[in-house]
Amino acid sequence: MPTGPDEGFDGPTEKCGVVGTSLADRSAARPLYYSLYALQHRGQESAGIVTHDGFQQHSHVEMGLVGDAFDEDDIAGLNGSAGIGHVRYPTAGSVDKSCAQPFTVSFKSGSLALSHNGNLVNSDEIREELAAQGHAFTSDGDTEVIAHDLARNLLEEDLVRAVKRTMERIHGSYSLTIMHDETVLGVRDPAGNRPLVIGEVDDGYVIASESAAIDTIDGELVRDVRPGELVVLRPDGEGYDTYQLVERERTAHCFFEHVYFSRPDSVIDGGLVYEVRRELGRKLWDESGIDTDVVMPVPDSGRAFASGYAEAAQEADAGVEFAEGLMKNRYVGRTFIMPTQDERERAVRLKLNPIKSTVEGKTVTLIDDSIVRGTTSNQLVQLLKDCGAEEVHLRIGAPPIVAPCYLGINMATREELIASDKTVEEIGETIDADSLQYLSTEAVAAALDADRADLCMGCVTGEYPYDIEGEETDRDVSRPVIEGSETASADD
Ligand code: SF4
């Protein structure tokens, strides 16, 4: 499978979700809390909110899901109309509270809180340099490295220049919400690898990983934060200023955000994720459609792909009928821990059950968004055949995952990836499908309406947009050309 952000069996696991807001005259805590609920699919390990009341920070950070991490007293204690929040899935650093975020620290330059989604590729180097200058670290995560670097720069520069210097120093993927005293900032890395958007609510502005978080608090999406851009929310919700601090020739948007990670109801880099997935499904039919009795999704995230695929098939007068053939047990969720392969195999049976009348005696096309280890796909093919399917053909709405991700996605190791050392034909045989086809990288770029060169496809090509030890680099973006253009624009 994987079957999307709420599954977590055989798939990549999400990174993190960030949010920040500055409001006119009400507490920021509750909108932040609701926004984190909307971003829960991006991280389930810990959740946290830090607010500022004009005098001091208030922080509540806990391990676990958003609903478990906060109670009414916690929210009531988070005073102030400015704040940031975070949900975490650990991709760098320990799995304990020391790395839970927002990360807070007080320096001579004031108080700082940081929420980070992404992964730096040069944090060890910067950590060593800062440690040599006397900075003491309390965690092994890369967010603290950003916090210390920024705090050091704030001793010598104003806020915007200090952020710019930090952006020049750190390399990798990062969408950040930052609070310096009570000023809330949003920063997106120069390659735009992770999403970040600006939204407007009645009495202020919000910055969040995905637009679904803004919808949840009755806000309106304004636009994406541009790659290399800093957004500064004015205090008391009065507006915001933007600064294009770093520019580079090409972006490296993570294509997997559209295929798998982001919510289908989010708009990312100008595209509604649901529509992109439907378009991927249509292209899957164009490239490798097969005329079977039924086409069915692996729920839930295969659904949009399957609906696009079925629509294209029907337009081509193929007799394929769209059907729901697998039912999901919604009560087996993230809290169901599956550390071993054996347990993961059993989990498939707990999670999905076939509808016999849809499957029995039929030829079936099963649509999924990706294959990581292949274990779950094999289980599902078996499940459908045991239920009487005559043939099971698997169609995947992304190219084969051949390499790990170093930019914030927990993708399994290279050895665990079934496509790292097998051809598509061999994978099809291993999972016992009657046929297997993936989508091409060209089709993915076309469905995203993007230039292939502006996407990161490291995990499906093995070529990354940054210098990573032992890996190929597909472009010269590891040391960006820095062209400061500090143009403040009100309500951009
Ligand atoms: S390697 Fe894959 S998952 Fe990681 S950022 Fe690039 S496209 Fe996204």
456 alpha carbon – ligand 1 mean position (Å)? 6
20, 83 contact by CB (below 8 A): yes
CATH number of 16-249: 3.60.20.10
pLDDT band at 226, cuts 50/70/90?
A: very high
Residues of the chain with pLDDT > 90, as a percent, come to: 71
User: What pTM value is reported for the model?
Assistant: 0.90
82, 35 contact by CB (below 8 A): no
For residue 455, what are the β-bridge partners? Answer: 253
The mean pLDDT of 72-92, rounded to a whole number, is: 90
Confidence at residue 474, expressed as pLDDT on a 0 to 100 scale: 66
Give yes or no for residue 3 having a pLDDT over 70. Answer: no
Give yes or no for residue 484 having a pLDDT over 60. Answer: no
Confidence at residue 110, expressed as pLDDT on a 0 to 100 scale: 83
Question: Cβ(256) to ligand 1 under 6 A?
Answer: yes
The mean pLDDT of 369-375, rounded to a whole number, is: 91
The mean pLDDT of 364-392, rounded to a whole number, is: 94
Confidence at residue 489, expressed as pLDDT on a 0 to 100 scale: 33
255 alpha carbon – ligand 1 mean position (Å)? 7
Least trusted range by pLDDT, from 92-96, 248-252, 344-348, 349-353: 92-96
Confidence at residue 481, expressed as pLDDT on a 0 to 100 scale: 35
Least trusted range by pLDDT, from 102-111, 145-154, 432-441: 102-111
409 alpha carbon – ligand 1 mean position (Å)? 7
Nearest ligand 1 atom to alpha carbon 403: 1
The mean pLDDT of 433-437, rounded to a whole number, is: 98
Mean pLDDT of all residues in the chain? 88
Task: Identify the CA nearest to 179 among candidates 39, 25, 322, 48.
Answer: 48
Confidence at residue 341, expressed as pLDDT on a 0 to 100 scale: 62
Confidence at residue 413, expressed as pLDDT on a 0 to 100 scale: 85
**Sign of the alpha-carbon dihedral angle for 324, 330, 332, 333:** positive
Confidence at residue 346, expressed as pLDDT on a 0 to 100 scale: 67
Tokens 């929420």 -> residue: 115
Give yes or no for residue 1 having a pLDDT over 50. Answer: no
Confidence at residue 417, expressed as pLDDT on a 0 to 100 scale: 93
Is 271-457 a CATH 3.40.50.2020 domain?
yes
Confidence at residue 483, expressed as pLDDT on a 0 to 100 scale: 38
Confidence at residue 363, expressed as pLDDT on a 0 to 100 scale: 97
Which residue type sits at 1?
M
Express each pLDDT in 270-299 by its tens digit: 899 999 999 999 999 999 999 999 999 999
More confident residue, 144 or 485: 144
The mean pLDDT of 179-204, rounded to a whole number, is: 96
Rounded-to-integer distance, Cα 26 and Cα 332, Å: 37
Question: Cβ(260) to ligand 1 under 6 A?
Answer: no
Residues of the chain with pLDDT > 70, as a percent, come to: 88
More confident residue, 137 or 218: 218
458 alpha carbon – ligand 1 mean position (Å)? 5
Q: Whose CA is nearest to atom 8 of ligand 1?
A: 254
The mean pLDDT of 385-405, rounded to a whole number, is: 96
More confident residue, 193 or 349: 193
Confidence at residue 333, expressed as pLDDT on a 0 to 100 scale: 59
Token readout for 388 is 């009487």
Give yes or no for residue 425 having a pLDDT over 80. Answer: yes
Three-state SS string over the chain comes to CCCCCCCCCCCCECCEEEEEEEECCCCCHHHHHHHHHHCHHHCCCEEEEEEECCCCEEEEEEECCHHHHCCHHHHHCCCCCEEEEEEECCCCCCCCHHHCCCEEEEECCEEEEEEEEEEECCHHHHHHHHHHCCCCCCCCCHHHHHHHHHHHHHCCCCHHHHHHHHHHHCCEEEEEEEEECCEEEEEECCCCCCCCEEEEECCEEEEECCHHHHHHCCCEEEEECCCCEEEEECHHHCCEEEEECCCCCCCCEECHHHHHHCCCCCEECCEEHHHHHHHHHHHHHHHHCCCCCEEEECCCCHHHHHHHHHHHHHHCCCCCEECCCEEECCCCCCCCCCCCHHHHHHHHHHHEEECHHHHCCCEEEEEECCCCCCHHHHHHHHHHHHCCCCEEEEEECCCCCCCCCCCCCECCCHHHCHHHCCCHHHHHHHCCCCEEEECCHHHHHHHCCCCHHHEECHHHHCEECCCCCCCEECCCCCCCCCCCECCCCCCC
Where exactly does CATH 3.40.50.2020 map onto the chain?
271-457
Confidence at residue 490, expressed as pLDDT on a 0 to 100 scale: 32
The mean pLDDT of 186-200, rounded to a whole number, is: 97
Express each pLDDT in 109-151 by its tens digit: 789 999 999 999 899 999 999 999 998 888 888 899 999 999 9
Where exactly does CATH 3.60.20.10 map onto the chain?
16-249
Long-range contacts of 65-74 (CB under 8 A, 24+ apart): 65/40, 65/334, 65/335, 66/33, 66/36, 66/37, 66/40, 67/37, 70/33
Q: Whose CA is nearest to atom 2 of ligand 1?
A: 459
Question: Cβ(409) to ligand 1 under 6 A?
Answer: yes
Please, what is the Cα angle at 425 between 411 and 340, to 5 degrees?
35
